[in-house]
Amino acid sequence: MFEILRERIQQQYRTAGYPEEPAPARPVRFRGLPLLDSTKCPEGCSSCVEACPTQAIKHQDNALRLDMGRCLFCTDCMEACPADAVRYSDDYRLATRTRDGLVVGAKPLELAQALDKKARRIFGRSLKLRQVSAGGCNACEADVNVLNTVVFDLGRFGIQFVASPRHADGLLITGPVTENMRLALIKTYEAVPAPKLVIAVGACAISGGPYIGHGEVHNGADSAVPVDLYVPGCPPSPWTILDGLLRLLGRLDQSHPDFAGPLAT
């Protein structure tokens, strides 16, 4: 007993202070919000477009546009660019409410807005989610699971994962929605009592990711069910997922140090 108490004292308090405190510094290799500077692009250059494995980046109206819903954050575009017109910041705040909102370059990223007042009254203090892996590689699933560890302690926000869709308020979907999982996903969605939410986590769940256009996948969750929150990444950081969930529930306000900030195009 004394050894257990001693070990607990030595471990100290491990849960992060977020959101009352800013999220901890990200690792050096962390790939966050893409930053595009079309003014640096050499005339006629398309190196970044040709390098992208998912066609996430393109030239449109003489400017660069990057679809974070397709982006694998692999940095192939950045490495191919001869003019440093593409780079990745350490900003983990990426979640949006709309699919179009994930396209950056033409305008600043529009971070996820909170649910309406009625929905926040229902879900704001207690949100139960059923996680559905619709053909994922387990990377996004692993980062979702990390939220249940002592560092993040997702339960302190009233957000928990449940075993049955009939006990859930919504779905958190990962994976590209393979042909074999499409019907299962639809039935799981139908089993969740209304009103309900759907959260698409990761490039696969948003667009199909590296499998986009394959005959055996349906290019994301919104091909089968309506989506209320998109969390991009391959896989997204646990901080990105948590930030998106809290924004959706209206748990971050304008006084929060991470609420806004310079979200560059």
200 phi/psi in degrees, rounded to 5? -100, 120
- Residue 185 located in a structural domain: yes
- Residue 130 located in a structural domain: yes
CA gap 31, 18 in Å, rounded? 20
Pairing of strands 57-60, 103-104: unpaired
Helix, strand, coil percentages for the chain (3-state, nearest 5): 30, 15, 50
Model pTM? 0.91
- Residue 94 located in a structural domain: no
Contact 192, 171 (CB under 8 A): yes
- Is the Cα torsion angle 127, 130, 134, 138 positive or negative in sign? positive
Per-residue pLDDT of the chain (265 residues; tens, 9 = 90+): 778 777 667 766 678 889 888 888 899 999 999 999 998 988 888 999 999 999 999 988 888 999 999 999 999 999 999 999 999 999 999 999 999 999 998 788 989 999 999 999 999 999 999 999 999 999 999 999 999 999 999 999 999 999 999 999 999 999 999 999 999 999 999 999 999 999 999 999 999 999 999 999 999 999 999 999 999 999 999 999 999 999 999 998 655 555 554 344 3
- Residue 263 located in a structural domain: no
CA gap 135, 217 in Å, rounded? 9
Q: How far is CA 93 from CA 99, 199, 223, in A?
A: 15, 16, 25
Task: Find the CATH number of the domain harbouring 155.
Answer: 3.40.50.12280
What is the domain extent for residue 233?
Answer: 117-248
Q: 27: cis peptide before it, omega within 30°?
A: no
36 phi/psi in degrees, rounded to 5? -115, 135
- Residue 137 located in a structural domain: yes
- Residue 43 located in a structural domain: no
- Residue 193 located in a structural domain: yes
Give the pair of three-digit tokens for residue 146: 């990390």
For the chain, how many structural domains are there in total? 1
CA gap 135, 222 in Å, rounded? 15
Q: How far is CA 11 from CA 8, 78, 124, 164, in A?
A: 5, 40, 32, 34
- Residue 79 located in a structural domain: no
